Structure 1
Amino acid sequence: MTRALIVIDVQESFRARPLWETISDPKIADKVNRLVRLARRAGDQVVWVLHSEPGTGGVFDPALGQVRLLEEVEPPMGDEPLIHKTSHNAFTTTNLQQRLTERGIHELTLCGIRTEQCVETTARLASDLGYQVTFVVDATATNPVPHRDAPEDQSVAALLADPRTLPAEEVIRRTEYALAGRFATIATVDELEAAAGLPA
């Protein structure tokens, strides 16, 4: 086993926010489940990562009960660790690198929420740490990004009405361009299944 699938922040915290109605792929769990089944079939390690902000009183505060996998996601099995992070990337505040090193893993496949934030940040750091990274772009999801001068407490309607807002599809496209050939190989779920010899 030299590969691991890292499932990042596919959690109910996001669905608990009004912004969920703008998510680029409300059925992201379906694609994540396909990747999990593919990894298990290949004998790859699966690592589950959840974002946690203890004591904040928000949807990422574990005390509120939303810091758990989306209910549609296949649950962890056997020796698949579930780790909690408090930084954007999955390495800085966890023992992820130690776990991977102990298992001799040097290839990572990444998916999760949000495309340009926690998943991309993890991809960049993983690349710098020497891992070979595959970024499964269609198994990530994100929201429209407000302009830097937009009010922090604006409504979803105001976000969508603001012509300066960057649409989710554009966020994903830009992330793909930024990572490709520098920090990661870009792939889709269909491509990985095809490479594994599974029918389309």
Structure 2
Amino acid sequence: MSRSALVVVDVQESFRQRPIWAYRSNPDLAPRVARLVAAARTRGDLVVWVLHAEPGSGGVFDPASGHVRLLDGLAPRADEPRLTKTAHNAFTTTNLQHLLTVRGVRELVVCGIRTEQCCETTARLGADLGYQVTFVTEATTTFPTPHRDLPADATVEEILADPRTLSADEMTQRTEYALAGRFATVRTVDEVVARYAEPVG
């Protein structure tokens, strides 16, 4: 049994269907996630794939849309768990905690979409459940985030033009400040890959 698991959160086509995708942080997200996956597999660690679904919504997260699938270049192995969640974190509406408990996992490496939303929430809850969490910011992505008072149907142009909008970099920095030293250790892809190369002990 492995003590560590890589949790890949919502790296799915749904996000690519939104116009704001063009303004994402970390355009090389999929290759970076693939590096982490390959390293975890080499070490014999568990890789868990999580997708977000909003059944019946009629949007890009509705399974009926065909977009609730991994981005091109990423593919689970037959023995790797694939979970579908309907909450922001990867635990509440899935059997993730049970899977981790059965396999003796005590350490989580979190990556995916969005940095400050589903990834951060998963890291926070994981820490509260007693897991040692590593947050790989370089293998997450997010988008410019509008102020709460901007109408929900605002266009990308309106979001970008609003001086109250937080940039993707600002959102990412906020997440790192919130997590580091409290809920997770923030590491780069290279740092995590190097740790995966260390003997399991």
Same fold judged by TM-score > 0.5? yes
Report the counterpart of residue 15 of structure 1 in structure 2: 16
Aligned counterparts of 1:127 and 1:52: Cα–Cα separation in 2: 24
Which whole-Å CA distance do the structure 2 matches of 1:194 and 1:44 have between them? 14
The residue that corresponds to 2:76 in the other structure is: 76
Secondary structure of the residue aligned to 2:35 is helix
Aligned to 1:32: 33
Moved more, 19-28 or 31-40: 19-28
Question: Does the 8 A contact of 2:143 with 2:167 survive in 1?
Answer: yes
Rounded Cα–Cα distance in structure 2 between residues aligned with 1:52 and 1:177: 29
Give the CA deviation at 1:194: 2.9
Is 1:150 aligned to 2:150, yes or no? yes
Aligned match of 1:102: 102
1:197, distance to aligned residue in structure 2 (A): 4.7
Deviation sequence 1:123-159 (CA, Å, 0-9, x none)? 0000000000000011000001101111111111111
CA distance in 2, matches of 1:89, 1:167: 23
Question: Secondary structure of 1:190's partner?
Answer: helix
The residue type paired with residue 5 of structure 2 is A
- Separation in structure 2 between the aligned mates of residue 22 and residue 92 of structure 1, nearest angstrom: 30
What amino acid maps onto 1:79 in structure 2? Answer: D
Identity %: 64
Once residues 77 and 113 of structure 1 are traced to their aligned partners in structure 2, the CA distance between those partners, rounded to angstroms, is 21
How does 1:173-184 map onto structure 2 within 5 Å?
Answer: 173-184=173-184
Q: How many residues align?
A: 197
Q: Which amino acid aligns with 1:64?
A: S
8 Å contact from structure 2 (residues 40, 196) kept in 1: no
Q: Which moved more, 1:130-139 or 1:189-198?
A: 189-198
CA distance in 1, matches of 2:114, 2:101: 25
| AA matched with 2:123 | A
Tell me the residue number matched to 1:162: 162
- CA distance in 2: counterparts of 1:196 and 1:124, whole angstroms: 22
Secondary structure, counterpart of 2:134 in structure 1? strand
Q: How does 1:41-190 map to 2 (within 5 A)?
A: 41-73=42-74, 75-190=75-190
User: Aligned partners of 2:129 and 2:97: how far apart in 1?
Assistant: 9
Give the CA deviation at 1:196: 4.0
CA RMSD in angstroms comes to 1.1
Q: Say which SS state the counterpart of residue 136 (structure 1) adopts.
A: strand
Matches of 1:125 and 1:181 in 2, distance apart?
Answer: 15
Task: Tell me the secondary structure at the aligned position of residue 40 of structure 2.
Answer: helix
In structure 2, how many angstroms separate the alpha carbons of the residues matched to 1:108 and 1:25? 21
What secondary structure is seen at the aligned counterpart in 2 of 1:100? helix
Instruction: Give structure 2 stretches of 5+ with no counterpart.
Output: none
Shift of 1:19: 1.3
Normalised by the size of structure 1, how large is the TM-score?
0.96
